[in-house]
Amino acid sequence: MTNADIVDILEQTTKLLELHNDDPFKIRSYQSTAFNLDKLTEDITELPATELVKLPGIGKSMANKIREIIDTGHLNELDTLLSQTPEGVLDMFRIKGIGPKKIRTIWHELGIENLRDLQLACENGQIATLKGFGASTQEKILSSLEFLQSQSGKIRMDKADALAGVLRDAIAPQVDRVEISGQVRRKAQEVDTIQLLIGTSQLRATMNALNTIPFLHQHAAESSPFAWRGSMDGTEVAIELLLYPANQLDRQLFIHTAAEAHLKQAGQAGQTLLQAAMSGDDTTETAIYDRAGLPYIVPEMREDAFAFRWSAYHQADELVTWDDLRGTLHNHSTWSDGKHTLGQMADATRELGLSYFGIADHSQTAAYANGLKPQQVREQHADIDRLNEQYGPDFQILKGIESDILGDGSLDYETDTLALFDYVVASVHQNLNMAIDKATARLIKAIENPYTTILGHPTGRLLLARAGYPIDHKAVIDACAAHHVIIEINASPYRLDIDWRWIDYAMQQGVMLSINPDAHSTTGLLDMHYGIAIGRKGGLTRKMTFNALTLPEMKAWLADRKQRKGIELPANSR
């Protein structure tokens, strides 16, 4: 039981209390307790009820509930609420654009208790007739349902990575060799099958051993003597474990890592990669590409023919790696909605061996996230100056902000405040369902703003949960090129935005990309690993990676850009 588990249970209780029309102020109390616990860095599970009541917004009752969760793993109240709610109604919470109140209306007014019936009710126009609903809401529900259907059975790369690791560790003691292959090895941002290859000469014994692993459940109908297929506790994703003789494993690892479209590629030798993998004795991956007469492609890029178009003017060793990173630019602290202080975040960054920590807390419009008012910006900068004096020249905190892009494309500070920052990450956080023309124009206006340095998470998508607003990617990237704006690869595994398929186009237009963790805690900094993986998949070179610039290079770049944009540097600037 961790802080996050407790927060999850409280948040779910909040939603269900709202669904069941409980007292709004009681609900608020649960909500704020969850909110406050989420920000806590100390381990709540160690605190007795007498200590819990000292936390803001937590009284005797909430303290006891928190202890109940810690001690039993359950909250009685939540279990009761769950027992009173059909599972299909719970599923409705995944639909974007409707919340507890509207779900309650759908459930109680129309008696709808599952997503299928909800879809039918949308299709025959029933939803639009409900009080508080209209044709637009009905349309939104329908498109959200379609999106959810298209995403079912998939999980994000971070979860897939972790599950594949658990599987490998459970299988390893039982077999000669086990390797993670497929989408996970290819660093796909979404995974529908976790695949591992097992090297063994004892088919039946290995199958039996696999079936002794308690959290695995074989689906016999889909399996064969050479392939274990089934599921794993705690996830809907498919599990596939393929058995091969040990001497075939390298060859098969190559074949099962690459997507089919990649294997079909043929090189000068006239062989496809698949043919090259199946023939010949040397089964190292470089040898297979050699035999096919094709350049070596890293596992991340083995999706389709793009990798070979890319190799026409790049080498694999130009791809960015973690070791190329010199700093990090999009991060939050306790000044807005982060968990750790500015000093803790900067220290953690320095411990990673990086030489600059860019703070980009939320701006004033983001009231929900404690966005900084102009006065607080000045106070934070005084804090940074103080810390920077302690750090000395080899490590520095850079003064950034994540400024909200308002509905009309303007940034949410006056220019006298914007001029105080070393750089500005401009991001959309509200008004997320614009049509493509309006959304594109909005972003371009923000890009044209001389204070915008980096365009943050360009589409606002949340993988598997929200499609994001549609934008004309080429127009946005071209605008970034024209105005010397960097594009963020938001490295949070929930976002991975801009999509990797646009990285090469951006590079071709001369637009640099910044691998930004959007870290809200010290561990969040490590999300840059996902950004690296997805950047490499898109062909991102170290040369075009903005935060691969050294500290002196970064400072010079930012100062030079300000000068070119005619922005007056503050009097006390370095």
CB of 30 to DNA, least distance (A): 7
**Beta-bridge partner residues of 240:** 195, 229
CB of 45 to DNA, least distance (A): 18
Residue 245, helix vs strand vs coil: coil
CB of 121 to DNA, least distance (A): 14
Other C-beta atoms lying within 10 Å of the C-beta of residue 35: 16
- Beta strand 193-199 with 238-244 is parallel
By C-beta, is 57 or 280 nearer to DNA?
Answer: 57
CB of 24 to DNA, least distance (A): 8
CB of 496 to DNA, least distance (A): 16
By C-beta, is 163 or 359 nearer to DNA?
Answer: 359
C-alpha angle with apex 563: 488 to 385, nearest 5 degrees?
Answer: 70
CB of 145 to DNA, least distance (A): 13
Residue type, 93: F
Which two three-digit tokens encode residue 265?
A: 């590629």
Other C-beta atoms lying within 10 Å of the C-beta of residue 152: 9
CB of 315 to DNA, least distance (A): 39
CB of 57 to DNA, least distance (A): 5
CB of 233 to DNA, least distance (A): 29
Residue 114, helix vs strand vs coil: coil
By C-beta, is 174 or 365 nearer to DNA?
Answer: 365
By C-beta, is 143 or 341 nearer to DNA?
Answer: 143
Residue position matching structure tokens 């080429």: 474
By C-beta, is 55 or 551 nearer to DNA?
Answer: 55
By C-beta, is 105 or 275 nearer to DNA?
Answer: 105
CB of 99 to DNA, least distance (A): 3
By C-beta, is 28 or 217 nearer to DNA?
Answer: 28
Q: Which residues contact 451 (CB under 8 A, 6 or more apart)?
A: 403, 411, 415, 418, 419, 421, 424, 565, 567
Is the Cβ–Cβ distance between 237 and 191 less than 8 Å? yes
Residue type, 303: E
By C-beta, is 229 or 461 nearer to DNA?
Answer: 461
DSSP string, 253-320: HHHHHS-HHHHT-B-TTS-BHHHHHHSSS--SHHHHHHHHT-----GGGTTSTHHHHHHTT--GGGB-
Which residue in 483, 399, 414 sits closest to 443, CA to CA?
483
Is the Cβ–Cβ distance between 456 and 402 less than 8 Å? yes
Which two three-digit tokens encode residue 414?
A: 């006056």
DSSP string, 42-56: S-GGG--HHHHTTST
| Residue 510 φ/ψ region, left for φ over 0, alpha for ψ in the -120 to 50 degree band, beta for the rest | left
C-alpha angle with apex 37: 32 to 39, nearest 5 degrees?
Answer: 100
Is the Cβ–Cβ distance between 154 and 192 less than 8 Å? yes
| Contacting residues toward DNA, per CB under 7 A | 23, 25-26, 28-30, 33, 53, 56-63, 96-103, 128, 131-138, 365-369, 406-407, 429-434, 462, 466
By C-beta, is 99 or 450 nearer to DNA?
Answer: 99
By C-beta, is 303 or 404 nearer to DNA?
Answer: 404
Calpha distance 441→448 (Å, rounded): 10
By C-beta, is 63 or 503 nearer to DNA?
Answer: 63
Number of Cα atoms under 13 Å in the Cβ half of residue 75: 25
By C-beta, is 3 or 193 nearer to DNA?
Answer: 3
CB of 470 to DNA, least distance (A): 14
DSSP, res 570: P
CB of 363 to DNA, least distance (A): 12
